[in-house]
Amino acid sequence: AEPSPTARAVNIGEGGTRFAACQGRGRVGNLRGGKLAVRDAPFDDAKQIGELTENAHVFICTRSLDQQWLGVVVASEDGTKPVPAAPTTAPATQAEATPSAPGVDCGVTAPVRGKRAYAGPCQSGWVESTFVAMVAR
């Protein structure tokens, strides 16, 4: 899908070369049964490019000037691409219960050379800061 003309990339590396590409971690909450829209720019009318559910983990990489929006990379707690939700039925064998290969590294837990737009394999975008609580590892 084409980004909107007002799309704004999520920047990583804002903390410099001694810090992780995305310095903060957060968990989505207080959705009251809904889903949190991931947008391609930090404003309400921006194009929705995804959605997050309650307790989804994100890496906080940047903020809008008014602090109402967070530029995030959606990743598991270890910095890898999230695994799709497992089926609700129990696996027939132990082999099916064992996870396959490790996930793809989103590239946000290690330092980068300088500030730049995120171009990694994981979803990135803008979410309302009201629904993301900072968490410690």
CATH code, 56: 2.30.30.40
In a 3-state reduction of DSSP, which class is residue 105? strand
What is the DSSP track for 35-57?
-EEEESSSSTTSPEEEEE-TT-E
| Residue 95 maps to a domain | no
Q: What is the DSSP letter of 118?
A: -
Query: For residues 57 and 82, is the Cβ–Cβ distance under 8 A?
Result: yes
Supply the mean pLDDT for the chain: 87
Phi first, then psi: give them for residue 30, nearest 5 degrees. Answer: 60, 35
Domains of the chain: total: 1
In a 3-state reduction of DSSP, which class is residue 55? coil
Domain extent at residue 41? 11-82+102-134
- C-alpha–C-alpha distance, residues 18 and 21, integer Å: 9
Structure tokens at 10: 């999520």
The total of other beta-carbon atoms located within 10 Å of residue 4's CB is 15
Q: What is the pLDDT of residue 111?
A: 95
Residues 44-95 have pLDDT tens digits of 999 999 999 999 999 999 999 999 999 999 999 889 998 776 555 555 544 4
33: pLDDT confidence band, cut at 50, 70 and 90? Answer: confident
| Residue 59 maps to a domain | yes
User: Residue 90 is which amino acid?
Assistant: A
| Residue 3 maps to a domain | no
| Residue 88 maps to a domain | no
Query: For residues 72 and 61, is the Cβ–Cβ distance under 8 A?
Result: yes
| Residue 6 maps to a domain | no
Structure tokens at 94: 């132990």
